[in-house]
Chain A
Amino acid sequence: MAERSFAKEVQKLRKGEGETFTGEGILAITKALLENGVGYVGGYQGSPISHLMDVLADAQDILGELGVHFEASASEATATAMLAASVHYPIRGAVTYKSVVGTNVASDALSNLASGGVTGGALIIVGEDYGEGSSIMQERTYAFAMKSQVWMLDPRPNVPSIVKAVGDGFALSEATNTPVMLQVGIRSCHVHGHFTASDNIRPAMTVSDALETPRRKLDRIVLPPATYLHEAEKLTKRKPAAEAFIVEQGLNERFGAASGKVGIILQGGSYNTVMRALNRLGLADIYGDTELDILCLNCVYPLVPGQILDFCAGKDAVLIVEEGHPNYIEQQIGHLLYQSGQRVKLEGKGKLPMGGEYTGQVMVEGLAAFFEEHAPDLLPVAKVAANEPQVDIPDLSQVLPMRPPGFCTGCPERPIFAATKLVEEELGEHHISSDIGCHLFSIMPPFDIGATTMGYGLGPASAAAFHNETKGGRRSISFIGDGGFWHNGLTSSIGNAVFNKSDNVIVIVDNFYSAATGGQDILSSRATNPTKQTQNSITEAVRGMGVKWVRQIDRTYDVTRVRDTLKEALTTEVEGPKVIVASSECMLNKQRRVKPQIAKATKEGKRTVRPRFGVDEDVCTGDHACMRLSGCPSLSVKDTGDPLRDDPVAAIDQSCVGCGNCGEVADAAVLCPSFYQAEVVSNPAPAERRKAERRNRIISWLQTRRDARRVHLA
């Protein structure tokens, strides 16, 4: 798995009662699952929850001892469907994925699961990728909780609270026969902290036990007439049970003094940001002690009407701190207050921005505006007056270059897009559909390739409308990664193109891993994996799907070949979709795997070769054409110091891994002869060394002879 060892993290999962666990939030959740007697775990990798999957994948021995089944699901839909094991059996199950994208994929299974309900605790850990640094569209998962009537926890973002939420989630799920979502933000997942561990617990019933004693209850199956009963049950039994559990178990917390005339209702996840803002406004100390009345919703759905109304009673104004849009919580509370006839002033969006991450500054400004209007006497004088001298800081927005993420050094996807750019230079621009994955960096300079991205595995699907009436007319090109291909691209994209007799071109970027999510193995990974069946051919799958024109390229760095193959795909008379499978191993993962091996071999005295590229700076003319087809971090510009030259030349630094792209691009695009490939041979054989010495003597003689007849620079 991932060519990267998580052995250190796995050892943390063994901590027992009273020991201190130290680590990231997502790893703490992983440990908490085992402490809560989970019976099976599944999920689909993606930031910020990949770590949970990676660590469990490496923890087979611990899982085995406890009788816990773990699997890396094919998609989020698969993962959620896996929770069906908790429908009839009292087994706790947990799945995890990135949200909101993963929840979108999962929603069919989620609706079915939620309808019939569960017997064993079913926990869905959604890694909310919202706000700065997010890689996805900005939406809320909350809507899914409301529409499917599953409960949603959003604990305060510290490790002990997150760990407690895992236990609360299972208990809440079982008490209400309802799946529970545990929402953790990207920074909560990566927050580093401690908690006091408990012993891991073997599930009372394992999935093996369940298989040996099958059960079924007709009224739990999603089929009319049971579905009508389910709907009624959700509203009349499960939701009231949840509200009772939330109050009885104290899931939501109350801070400050209950007597205040103003109050704040917040999501647990934003507690720390609110507290920091209150501290900066002089209304709370660094430990969160405050006179202000605060209701912290660690369970954001369902809301408990009694609790909310009780909190608001007697107050002049209440501020709802709810990140993201729409403001579902605020709407519900507004509705509650209106129905109850309470006359408290409700604030929320308006004082705070409609959308976007509630950062520290946003929170300070929003809270200050709330207090200034509704409790001006609360704010210390110093906080109201603009009494700090203002300093005009130069505006650097025009100076600073953007630094978006891009392809890594030596990435095998770079040459694919270099080749695509060359094809477009020759045949003109094409409509290009992109997909989700590292290859989406093609959107950025220097490639500027790709017009849309419609979801994981949906690159070719998003080109489906582009049917050219003119036979022999221009075709669209779409990209899809191996991850997206196996996630659902095989059917949604390839199958669809075959069935509808698409004439377009599809490039499957195969880098042997689900690379963008951390290098997890997938069906077509080349590595042998003890718990997975890998090495399933994409080409064969595509052929099996009915594609007639398939080309397999086993070395993407062969830019000339990729270019010519793509050109052929765009111009061939063969009908039906044209599929190119471009395969080379993700360089990040390859280096992790190969580098230690080579170092070891070299140390043992074996002959090893280290490749690297370089630029002859006196041959380079500084036009940077190579960089417009590369963007590699190791290929950059440098000054020569030569007063005869104006422009910086190309230079390759020590981080070069010798992938070959520079030379291949220079060749295919007929750029310039500045590039050289240097291969440094360690521990050469004696015969090899003697031969090299002989050669060097002759070369040296030729050089001296030439120099003897001319005036030259040394």
Chain B
Amino acid sequence: MNMQTTPLVARRSPGPDGEKIITLAALAVGGQGGGVLTNWIVDVAEANGYRAQSTSVAGVAQRTGATIYYIEMCRDTGRAPVFALSPAQGDVDVLIASELMEGGRAILRGFVTPGRTTLIASTHRIAAVSEKIAPGDGRADGEEVIRAMGIAADRVIAFDMETLAKEAGSVISSSLLGGLAGSGALPFPKESFEAVIRASGRGVEASLGAFRAAYDCATGATPPPAPPVDVAPPTAMRVPAALDREWRALVARLRALPAEVQGMTQRGLEKVVDYQDLAYGAQYLDMVESLARQDAAPFAMTEAAAKYCARALCYDDILRVADLKTRASRFNRVRGEVVVGEDQLLMLTEYFHPRFEEFCTTLPRALGGWLQASPRAERLYARYFDKGRRVRTDRLSGFALLWAISALRPMRRRLLRHGSEMAHVDQWFAAVQEVALQDRAMAVELLANYRLIKGYSDTHARGLTKFARVMGALPMLRGRADGADWMRRLRTAALADVEGTALEGAIATVESFAGARA
């Protein structure tokens, strides 16, 4: 695609009285209220003695696709100007993008021109389907788009207008209008924008609130809302008096670790203890400490160990799910998320579908193993028990059921699942320890490979397979200067798609240059 501005200087010329046509395009995601915004802008223009014309392609507007609205306006001199019906490359004065990537799309399509276009964009994200379905993190890089905005636009007004609107109890069309008014790109006073909102008659106060907040951010009167930083929620461990001494002993061990890794290790320790008990926490610290002894500043390997050992130890089983689902903190979080008022009640249904595997592995080792080997038991289970279960945790029966399962926690070490999980963890960790002796960078990657194991049932099984495939490349990559880098690439490939196509391709590449060593 030719991304350069056209060599032809094809700017619009003004009318005899100096009146100019102003062109404005709005790129929105279907369902964002682009139609409302368009009507408001037309009304503002007409109220200020301008002629205005709007067009849109509304056919799929409600159906989540990218949609364009287009407005032209011109001071009324008694004659009807010839307005164009769609935005043209290099000919847009004001571009409104109601989402970050739509702003990027406007640039890609040539609607944002240096020295010409005022770009008003909300920087929040609405992930597209393609970004959501990657097994890892498939989200697009917003930084690149923001950089491009600075280059392509004459002026950029970009901040999170969605958050502003939500905080005001309104929708993004109000804050976009505020951004537009505040940008000064249209020769209309703030009051005329407000008058149009008032005349629209629905949710006026909330709309005005969002409008004014965005207006002030656009003029620079107030700073735009800070981007949501990825701050970890503060943790608070509740320690019963009887366990306090033992807990303090673990904390003392934590404090003895290098300062660089204490933050991560604290998170890990809290998670592991919360998952099982204090002894489990001690086991976790054993693992972290063993690698710390072989590590040196900046202790990247120890930090990776702190992170991934915690994850490896806290595998997701029925006990864990039952525990999490019956916590008081969880009930409070749900009430906040779905907005339950003081005078309202909450009914809560959990969706479970325990398969034969989960059933067997939640039994004591011997019994579970025996059942797992019995085709007859499997058939029986399939016929009578293998179905989705809806559990009402706001009711006593449902809650008590899950609470009782969570109460099996002290027995967890005796269950079949624990045995297989620990065997798997031990094997992985032994490999890490051995590699750490010669190649710490590779050890970091091996630790991070535990990221591949996630999900439940089939997804979990697929994760295990991919984990084994990636770890299986170790003999080929050991001892190579670029070994760790390739190990990281294999893991990234494994997270790119479900089928493992990218991973197989990456492994084939590795085999092509390092296969002989295997």
The answer to whether the Cβ of B121 comes within 8 Å of any Cβ in the partner chain is no
Given the known inter-chain contacts A364-B10, A673-B351, A712-B238, please indicate yes or no for A272 contacting B345, CB distance below 8 A. Answer: no
Q: Is there contact, CB below 8 Å, between A396 and B108?
A: yes
Assembly CA distance A637 to B138 (angstroms) = 10
Q: Is there contact, CB below 8 Å, between A395 and B74?
A: no
Contact with A along B452-463 (1 / 0, CB 8 A): 001111110001
The answer to whether the Cβ of A623 comes within 8 Å of any Cβ in the partner chain is yes
Assembly CA distance A678 to B57 (angstroms) = 37
Interface of B, helix, strand, loop or mixed by DSSP: loop
Choose, from B86-94, B207-215, B500-508, the stretch at the interface.
B86-94
Chain A residues with Cβ under 8 A from B459's Cβ? 621, 623, 625, 671-672
Q: Is there contact, CB below 8 Å, between B127 and A637?
A: yes
Chain A residues with Cβ under 8 A from B239's Cβ? 711
Most A CB contacts (10 A, CB to CB) among B3, B343, B351 go to B351
Choose, from A199-207, A405-413, A569-577, the stretch at the interface.
A405-413
Given the known inter-chain contacts A187-B86, A403-B66, A641-B230, please indicate yes or no for A446 contacting B55, CB distance below 8 A. Answer: no
Given the known inter-chain contacts A393-B148, A399-B104, A616-B325, please indicate yes or no for A671 contacting B456, CB distance below 8 A. Answer: yes
Q: Is there contact, CB below 8 Å, between A677 and B55?
A: no
Q: Is there contact, CB below 8 Å, between A360 and B89?
A: yes
Q: Is there contact, CB below 8 Å, between A359 and B88?
A: yes
Of A133, A359, A710, the residue contacting B277 (CB under 8 A) is: A710
Of B4, B66, B338, the residue contacting A392 (CB under 8 A) is: B4
Assembly CA distance A368 to B7 (angstroms) = 11
The answer to whether the Cβ of B16 comes within 8 Å of any Cβ in the partner chain is yes
- Which A159-194 residues have C-beta < 8 A from chain B? 185-188, 190-193
Given the known inter-chain contacts A623-B463, A637-B127, A644-B311, please indicate yes or no for A186 contacting B240, CB distance below 8 A. Answer: no
The answer to whether the Cβ of B199 comes within 8 Å of any Cβ in the partner chain is no
Assembly CA distance A662 to B90 (angstroms) = 44
Chain A residues with Cβ under 8 A from B231's Cβ? 641
Chain B residues with Cβ under 8 A from A399's Cβ? 104, 140-141, 144-145
The answer to whether the Cβ of B374 comes within 8 Å of any Cβ in the partner chain is no
Assembly CA distance A698 to B395 (angstroms) = 10
Closest-by-CB residue of A relative to B21 is A286
The answer to whether the Cβ of A618 comes within 8 Å of any Cβ in the partner chain is yes
A side interface size, CB within 8 A: 135
Chain A residues with Cβ under 8 A from B235's Cβ? 713
Chain A residues with Cβ under 8 A from B20's Cβ? 286
Chain A residues with Cβ under 8 A from B366's Cβ? none
Given the known inter-chain contacts A663-B349, A678-B338, please indicate yes or no for A276 contacting B135, CB distance below 8 A. Answer: no
B321 to chain A, nearest CB (A): 5
Q: Is there contact, CB below 8 Å, between A438 and B394?
A: no
Closest-by-CB residue of A relative to B306 is A644
Of A360, A614, A644, A688, the residue contacting B84 (CB under 8 A) is: A360
Q: Is there contact, CB below 8 Å, between A400 and B64?
A: no
Given the known inter-chain contacts A191-B53, A388-B9, please indicate yes or no for A624 contacting B133, CB distance below 8 A. Answer: yes
The answer to whether the Cβ of A96 comes within 8 Å of any Cβ in the partner chain is no
- Which B1-51 residues have C-beta < 8 A from chain A? 1, 3-16, 19-21, 29-31, 42
The answer to whether the Cβ of B352 comes within 8 Å of any Cβ in the partner chain is yes
B291 to chain A, nearest CB (A): 16
Q: Is there contact, CB below 8 Å, between A405 and B88?
A: no
Choose, from A27-35, A228-236, A700-708, the stretch at the interface.
A700-708
Q: Is there contact, CB below 8 Å, between A394 and B86?
A: no
The answer to whether the Cβ of B274 comes within 8 Å of any Cβ in the partner chain is yes
Assembly CA distance A702 to B326 (angstroms) = 9
Q: Is there contact, CB below 8 Å, between A288 and B139?
A: no
Given the known inter-chain contacts A396-B144, A405-B64, A636-B126, please indicate yes or no for A672 contacting B236, CB distance below 8 A. Answer: no
Q: Is there contact, CB below 8 Å, between A280 and B91?
A: yes
Given the known inter-chain contacts A279-B13, A623-B463, A684-B345, please indicate yes or no for A400 contacting B140, CB distance below 8 A. Answer: yes
Q: Is there contact, CB below 8 Å, between B351 and A677?
A: yes
Of A188, A386, A643, A676, the residue contacting B351 (CB under 8 A) is: A676
- Which B452-506 residues have C-beta < 8 A from chain A? 454-459, 463, 495, 498
Interface of A, helix, strand, loop or mixed by DSSP: loop
Chain B residues with Cβ under 8 A from A628's Cβ? 133, 498
B288 to chain A, nearest CB (A): 13
Q: Is there contact, CB below 8 Å, between B267 and A642?
A: yes
Contact with A along B344-368 (1 / 0, CB 8 A): 1111111111010000000000000
Q: Is there contact, CB below 8 Å, between A676 and B349?
A: yes
Chain A residues with Cβ under 8 A from B105's Cβ? 396, 400, 403
Q: Is there contact, CB below 8 Å, between B9 and A390?
A: no
Chain B residues with Cβ under 8 A from A669's Cβ? 458
Q: Is there contact, CB below 8 Å, between B80 and A287?
A: yes
Q: Is there contact, CB below 8 Å, between B151 and A394?
A: yes
Chain A residues with Cβ under 8 A from B451's Cβ? 646-647
Choose, from B400-408, B421-429, B438-446, the stretch at the interface.
B400-408
Assembly CA distance A209 to B237 (angstroms) = 87
Q: Is there contact, CB below 8 Å, between A616 and B88?
A: no
Assembly CA distance A443 to B25 (angstroms) = 29
Chain A residues with Cβ under 8 A from B274's Cβ? 711-713
A248 to chain B, nearest CB (A): 26
The answer to whether the Cβ of B253 comes within 8 Å of any Cβ in the partner chain is no
Assembly CA distance A646 to B310 (angstroms) = 13
Assembly CA distance A188 to B83 (angstroms) = 12
A506 to chain B, nearest CB (A): 24
Q: Is there contact, CB below 8 Å, between A408 and B271?
A: no
Q: Is there contact, CB below 8 Å, between B91 and A360?
A: yes
Assembly CA distance A282 to B114 (angstroms) = 21
Of B133, B268, B337, the residue contacting A627 (CB under 8 A) is: B133
B side interface size, CB within 8 A: 159
Q: Is there contact, CB below 8 Å, between A446 and B129?
A: yes
The answer to whether the Cβ of A588 comes within 8 Å of any Cβ in the partner chain is yes
Q: Is there contact, CB below 8 Å, between A396 and B104?
A: yes
Most B CB contacts (10 A, CB to CB) among A286, A636, A704 go to A286
Given the known inter-chain contacts A286-B15, A672-B459, please indicate yes or no for A643 contacting B145, CB distance below 8 A. Answer: no
Q: Is there contact, CB below 8 Å, between B108 and A680?
A: no
Assembly CA distance A363 to B87 (angstroms) = 12
Q: Is there contact, CB below 8 Å, between A643 and B53?
A: no
Q: Is there contact, CB below 8 Å, between A648 and B247?
A: no
Chain A residues with Cβ under 8 A from B90's Cβ? 361
The answer to whether the Cβ of B167 comes within 8 Å of any Cβ in the partner chain is no
The answer to whether the Cβ of B388 comes within 8 Å of any Cβ in the partner chain is yes
Contact with B along A677-704 (1 / 0, CB 8 A): 1111111100011001001001110111
Closest-by-CB residue of B relative to A700 is B328
- Which A599-655 residues have C-beta < 8 A from chain B? 609, 612, 614, 616, 618-619, 621-625, 627-628, 631, 633, 635-637, 639, 641-648, 654
Q: Is there contact, CB below 8 Å, between A699 and B340?
A: no
A441 to chain B, nearest CB (A): 7
Q: Is there contact, CB below 8 Å, between A670 and B59?
A: no
Chain A residues with Cβ under 8 A from B345's Cβ? 680-681, 684, 688-689, 692
Given the known inter-chain contacts A445-B130, A643-B307, A675-B351, please indicate yes or no for A364 contacting B65, CB distance below 8 A. Answer: no
Assembly CA distance A588 to B60 (angstroms) = 13
The answer to whether the Cβ of A666 comes within 8 Å of any Cβ in the partner chain is yes
Q: Is there contact, CB below 8 Å, between A280 and B11?
A: yes
Given the known inter-chain contacts A394-B148, A633-B64, please indicate yes or no for A671 contacting B348, CB distance below 8 A. Answer: no
Assembly CA distance A439 to B170 (angstroms) = 32
Of B232, B355, B457, the residue contacting A642 (CB under 8 A) is: B232
B342 to chain A, nearest CB (A): 11
Shortest 7 CB-CB contacts between residues of A and residues of B: A360-B88, A405-B65, A667-B388, A133-B57, A386-B7, A47-B59, A621-B454
Given A400-B101, A633-B64: 17 more A-B contacts, CB < 8 Å: A186-B59, A188-B85, A286-B14, A288-B82, A359-B86, A388-B115, A393-B148, A400-B145, A402-B128, A403-B65, A588-B62, A614-B337, A666-B353, A672-B457, A678-B338, A679-B347, A680-B346
Instruction: Supply 23 A–B pairs (Cβ within 8 Å), ascending by A.
Output: A133-B60, A158-B80, A192-B42, A272-B84, A273-B84, A276-B84, A360-B91, A399-B141, A400-B105, A409-B31, A619-B324, A621-B454, A625-B135, A637-B127, A644-B307, A646-B137, A673-B325, A680-B340, A681-B346, A702-B403, A703-B327, A707-B238, A713-B271
